Amino acid sequence: MDAQRMNELELLLLKKLEGEISGEEQQRLDSWAAESPGNARLLEALADPDWMLEQMAELESIREPAREPLVVPLRRAPLLRRWGWAAAVIGLLAAGAAFWLMRAPAPQQSPAAQAPVQADVQPGHEGAILTLADGTQIPLDSAAQGEIARQGGSTLTLGKGQLAYDADEGGSEAPALNTITIPRGRQFRLLLPDGSKVWLNSASSIRFPVAFSGAERRVTVTGEAYFEVAENPAKPFTVEVTGKTRLRVLGTRFNLKAYPDEPVAVATLMQGKLAVEADSGAGQTVLLPNEQAIINGSRLRKNDVANAGAAAAWKDGLFNFDNKKLDEVMRELARWYDLEIVYQKGVPDIMFGGEMGRNEPLSNVLLGLQDANVKFKIEANRRLVVLP
């Protein structure tokens, strides 16, 4: 079918569905339907509300990828971009609506509003520091895009917000180890030599060989990272969390949150299979999709989660605050906005819900906190003091 005919039929079917079809157009549609049983079936299906809703639900369930692949300009998710139905869920309008949008005007000005932050603090952005095997450091915020280094047989190519490794498989010497460190207020993506993708959140790091030449693929992570591991059963992929945990990857997509300043380390699996081993005798477990392993010192437990993807919302430019306590929310904000959080008198017992875009200036976040009845003041040097 040529493109013109396809456009014409699409238009006719839409007119039919929208009740705007003329007699002559209806005739054209009818004669098309008579051409083949398949055509007639499609016309019939489109008239069936149950079937239609099923198809809408399927379209709804398709998630846009977090980022376009390499080379394509990185999209900064605008807060209210239309993501189909999902816009409402993903944008700040979901549970966060109560939190963000439906706020009543503050009856009285809080201290924060009276003393506005001079020069609003902007949200974090892409950036990282690359440390080569010989200790050379390359800041990836400012380096020009394109090929930035060669090590052994590997070529390093910097894209916007992403570094890609292209390994020459023929290399015989032991591959050099590189480290990428993500400072506070930054995030970054890495394309490993085997094609695995890693998203790195603020205040995180990853150490990895520039080529996976041995019998296994092994990387070391601190902080938070989301992995999409390229399948290769012949070369198992292991993620080590310094001092805490080992993840043996039997499948593909998972998020790991293991900050030293968090009380627990959490691995959440979206797709595939993941064996989680905790050091210090806490044992091991195997995760299936929508399961989560929580490692708390010497204890390892497993949880079901309704929406595993929420754990990696950050890579899609969102904070997910569902069921998080104030201190955890504050730690996330601190890493992204590079804040120092001080509690004047303990941590108020406030639970959060909903999602919020990560590219909001700090002032908007503060408004949200105010509406959530968090009392605080802003001091010099990005210090946020939470008041009782």
Give the footprint of other proteins on this chain (CB under 8 A): 1, 3, 6-7, 9-10, 13-14, 16-20, 36, 38-39, 42, 45-47, 49, 52-53, 55-60, 62, 64-65, 68-69, 71-78, 80-89, 91, 93-99, 101, 353-354
Nearer of residues 75 and 331 to other proteins, judged by Cβ? 75
Rounded to a whole number of angstroms, the minimum distance from the CB of residue 92 to other proteins is 9
Report the alpha-carbon distance of residue 118 to residue 134 in Å, rounded: 41
Q: Which residues pair with 44 in a beta bridge?
A: none
Is the CB of residue 239 less than 8 Å from the CB of residue 221?
Answer: yes
Which bin fits 43, alpha (ψ -120 to 50), beta or left (φ > 0)? Answer: alpha
Rounded to a whole number of angstroms, the minimum distance from the CB of residue 218 to other proteins is 24
Report the alpha-carbon distance of residue 303 to residue 293 in Å, rounded: 6
Count other Cβ atoms within 10 Å, centred on residue 242: 12
- Residue 181 in 3-state DSSP? strand
Rounded to a whole number of angstroms, the minimum distance from the CB of residue 62 to other proteins is 4
Rounded to a whole number of angstroms, the minimum distance from the CB of residue 37 to other proteins is 10
Rounded to a whole number of angstroms, the minimum distance from the CB of residue 88 to other proteins is 3
- Residue 364 in 3-state DSSP? helix
Rounded to a whole number of angstroms, the minimum distance from the CB of residue 78 to other proteins is 7
Nearer of residues 37 and 346 to other proteins, judged by Cβ? 37
- Residue 101 in 3-state DSSP? coil
DSSP letter (8 states) at residue 344:
B
Among candidate residues 215, 200, 293, the one with its CA nearest the CA of residue 247: 293
Rounded to a whole number of angstroms, the minimum distance from the CB of residue 279 to other proteins is 32
The first and second tokens of residue 171, run together, are 């290399």
Within 13 Å and on the Cβ side, how many CA atoms surround 324?
Answer: 21
Nearer of residues 91 and 193 to other proteins, judged by Cβ? 91
Is the CB of residue 322 less than 8 Å from the CB of residue 89?
Answer: no
Q: Which helix (H) or strand (E) holds 237?
A: strand 237-241
